[in-house]
Amino acid sequence: MSWMGKLFGSGGKGGKAPTPQEAIQRLRETEEMLAKKQEFLEKKIEQELLTAKKNGTKNKRAALQALKRKKRYEKQLDQIDGTLSTIEFQREALENANTNTEVLKNMGVAAQAMKAAHQNMDIDKVDDLMAEITEQQEVAQEISDVISKPIGFGEEYDEDELMAELEELEQEELDKGLLEIEGDVPLPSVPSTSLPSRPAKKKEEDDEDDMADLAAWAN
């Protein structure tokens, strides 16, 4: 059995292939397992490096063995990195394929629903129905136009005569306004105070002068 067969548990010829969701889930579980092994190898590499440093001057043989183990762990770590990249690529491809499958499935369902909706429709009947609707809309518009048209009861008026009458009315109002303005112009008011009279003594002196002048003229 191949490694992929063991991974997905496909079994023999009669084995049922896993669904895309199942395969994606198993790939994720494998990624988690390899990630944990990465952490383990990184810790082992760090330990072997510390052992090599510790025995570098005291026990060279032990230091060399530690470095050899470190190299093996590093090689395993590189292999796991490559495997993770492959699994990640395959998982993304499966996810895309699963998405496309769902999209196509839903589009198929929509196509079947549309087909069922159009099953009892005849394009010729639809054209006839639309033509009838258009015709009735035109009739309704004509009726609205007739109803909204003003009714003159058979009487016609000359617009020129009406304008002339309107101008006469305006002129009468203008003349009336001018007359009201003229009638409202106020006359000068009579002074309310009397003129100052001459003093009585001054008046007597003036009278005596007048009499003297008159006597002189008589002589």
Q: What is the pLDDT of residues 48-101, one digit of tens each?
A: 999 998 888 788 899 999 999 999 999 999 999 999 999 999 999 999 988 998
Q: What is the pLDDT of residues 32-52, one digit of tens each?
A: 999 999 999 999 999 999 999
Mean pLDDT of 100-108: 90
Mean pLDDT of 2-29: 70
What is the rounded distance in angstroms from the CA atom of residue 61 to the CA atom of residue 69?
12
Q: Please report, to the nearest 10 degrees, the dihedral formed by the alpha carbons of residues 109, 110, 111, 116 taken in order.
A: 90
Q: How confident is the model at residue 3 (pLDDT cuts 50, 70, 90)?
A: very low
Instruction: Enter the tokens of residue 6.
Output: 């063991």
Confidence (pLDDT) at 181: 75
Q: Which domains, ranges and CATH numbers included, belong to the chain?
A: 19-117 (1.10.287.1060)
Across 66-75, 162-171, 197-206, the highest mean pLDDT is recorded for: 66-75
Residue 186: is its pLDDT beyond 80? Answer: no
Confidence (pLDDT) at 1: 43
Query: What predicted TM-score, i.e. pTM, was given to this entire model?
Result: 0.45
Mean pLDDT of 91-113: 90
Q: How confident is the model at residue 170 (pLDDT cuts 50, 70, 90)?
A: confident
Confidence (pLDDT) at 216: 64
Across 25-39, 44-58, 140-154, 203-217, the highest mean pLDDT is recorded for: 25-39
Question: Mean pLDDT score of the chain, rounded to an integer?
Answer: 80
Q: How confident is the model at residue 174 (pLDDT cuts 50, 70, 90)?
A: confident
Confidence (pLDDT) at 157: 65
CA distances from 143 to 130, 134, 139, 148 (A): 20, 14, 6, 9
Confidence (pLDDT) at 82: 94
